[in-house]
A and B are shown apart, each in its own frame.
Chain A
Amino acid sequence: AQTVTQSQPEMSVQEAETVTLSCTYDTSESNYYLFWYKQPPSRQMILVIRQEAYKQQNATENRFSVNFQKAAKSFSLKISDSQLGDTAMYFCAFMKQGDDKIIFGKGTRLHILP
């Protein structure tokens, strides 16, 4: 069975700083997808970034980028120039190719301080 581990339950950084959220996963699959979802306070969960395991290039979406290390089964999220609106719960997630279900980590609560 696949598992997703987020080792940082809570983090705080100053506005404009760069922050990295950690995620490791365990799987015997070779084809899969990884995601970071963001859940702002009292707002809907949204997808931040996705990565296909077969791609070596790390995904990037504006200020958000990932460091995907397939051999180490690590998938960290880097937020550059952090903004107050980045304050949220962040969930790392895994999906096996051919499956429709996602396995979520327990989440990291990120506070961006003014």
Chain B
Amino acid sequence: DVKVTQSSRYLVKRTGEKVFLECVQDMDHENMFWYRQDPGLGLRLIYFSYDVKMKEKGDIPEGYSVSREKKERFSLILESASTNQTSMYLCASSSPGQGFKYEQYFGPGTRLTVT
């Protein structure tokens, strides 16, 4: 069964802290994604990785960085957390080898609160 896991369901951090959000997939997928979900704004892509050590900025990369040292793991880093980064963060993975299917598989999300 396909699985994407995220390290925490809920996280509370202080302004200025460095925050790591981890995502692991067990499907051997090449692509991994980090989204931010806010009410009324839907899902917005932060960063995308199409291979180990490869990354591409999404629509809202400011204030975030990512790391992908292994195929199954994709980390989102908030270098200095701010209150406007309080949000739900969703990780997803997909494989271009799926042909027309192109389904993205999502993790359960991490609800981050920055105080």
Could you tell me how many residues of chain A have their Cβ less than 8 Å away from some Cβ of chain B?
Answer: 19
Most A C-beta atoms less than 10 A away, residue of B42, B94, B106: B42
Contact B108 A33 (CB under 8 A): no
Contact between B101 and A50, CB atoms less than 8 A apart: yes
Known contacts A33-B100, A101-B48; A91/B106 CB under 8 A: no
CB distance from A27 to the nearest CB of B (A): 16
Give Cα A52 to B100, complex, Å. Answer: 8
Q: Is the CB of B45 within 8 A of A101?
A: yes
Query: With A44-B106, A45-B90, A46-B106 given, is the CB distance from A9 to B40 under 8 Å?
Result: yes
User: Which residue in chain B gives the minimum CB-CB distance to A9?
Assistant: B40
Query: Which residues between 17 and 48 of chain A lie within 8 Å of chain B, taking CB atoms?
Result: 33, 35, 43-47
- Contact check, B107 vs A91: say whether CB atoms are below 8 A apart: no
What's the nearest-Cβ distance from chain B to residue A45, in Å? 4
Q: How far is the CA of A56 from the CA of B110 in the complex (A)?
A: 39
Residue pair A95, B42 in contact (C-beta under 8 Å): no
Tell me the smallest distance from the CB of A32 to a CB of chain B, in Å.
10
Q: Collect the chain A residues with CB atoms within 8 Å of residue B33's CB.
A: 101
| CB-contacts of B19-57 with A (<8 A) | 31, 33, 40-43, 45, 48, 50
A111 to chain B, nearest CB (A): 15
CA distance A101 to B96 in the complex (A): 10
Q: Is the CB of B48 within 8 A of A43?
A: no
CB distance from A25 to the nearest CB of B (A): 13
How far in angstroms is the closest Cβ of chain A from B51? 11
Tell whether A104 is near chain B: CB-to-CB under 8 Å.
yes
| Closest 3 A/B residue pairs (Cβ) | A106-B42, A45-B106, A104-B43
